[in-house]
Amino acid sequence: MATSNPINADTVPSQSGSTYPEPFKSRMGDSAWLPLGDAFGLTQFGVNLETLQPGAESALRHWHDLEDEFVYVLSGELVLRTDRGETTMTAGMCVGFKAGEEDAHHLVNRSEAEASFFVIGSRVPDDMAFYPDDDLIWVKGEEGYNAMHKSGEPYREKGS
């Protein structure tokens, strides 16, 4: 239930795993996040506190056509991979990605310790996320993102 009262972030139920379909889901590694913006019923932007274990990735490399994204590293060490190459990010560093700029990005934890960071992003209807390294496009619908092949065919879970 949404609140406008201050809360302790630890009271927000943690989510883990990946919403990607296979064959991508198993590539992500061990991660968890607290959907902090949801606790307040925020609809215009999302705020997540994410933790990546060693070897985990934040997402597949992607860019959004309509949504801005901002990342702030709280602890640990992460490798930011973009179209321009790789940059090590540590606590206190931040980066932003403007909607529509085709600079695919993600974070990888190549260290031996967990790393935590905030991700803040706009929530824009009809946003699409593009994945240049993989056969995947996500299209935002009323119920969240729908995974599709680049051909436009939807991914289907086994047995459906």
> Tens digit of pLDDT for each residue in 22-81?
999 999 999 999 999 999 999 999 999 999 999 999 999 999 999 999 999 999 999 999
- Residue of 153, 149, 159 whose CA lies nearest to 24: 149
The confidence score (pLDDT) of residue 142 equals 73
On whether residue 134 sits in a domain, the answer given is no
**Residue 27 φ then ψ, to 5°:** -85, -15
On whether residue 148 sits in a domain, the answer given is no
Which CATH number does the domain housing residue 120 bear? 2.60.120.10
On whether residue 82 sits in a domain, the answer given is yes
On whether residue 118 sits in a domain, the answer given is yes
Please report which confidence band the pLDDT of residue 160 belongs to, taking 50, 70 and 90 as the band edges. Answer: very low
**CA–CA separation, 31 and 84 (whole Å):** 25
* Domain total of the chain: 1
The overall pTM is greater than 0.75:
yes
On whether residue 5 sits in a domain, the answer given is no
> Can you list the positions of beta strands (E) in the chain?
15-16, 31-35, 45-52, 63-64, 69-75, 77-82, 85-90, 94-97, 106-108, 115-122, 128-131, 136-141, 144-148
Paired with 148 in beta bridges are 137, 154
List for the chain the helix, strand, coil content (%; round to 5). 5, 45, 50
What is the domain extent for residue 45?
A: 20-127
On whether residue 151 sits in a domain, the answer given is no
Mean pLDDT, range 121-133, rounded to an integer: 94
Give the rounded percent of residues in the chain with a pLDDT score beyond 70: 97
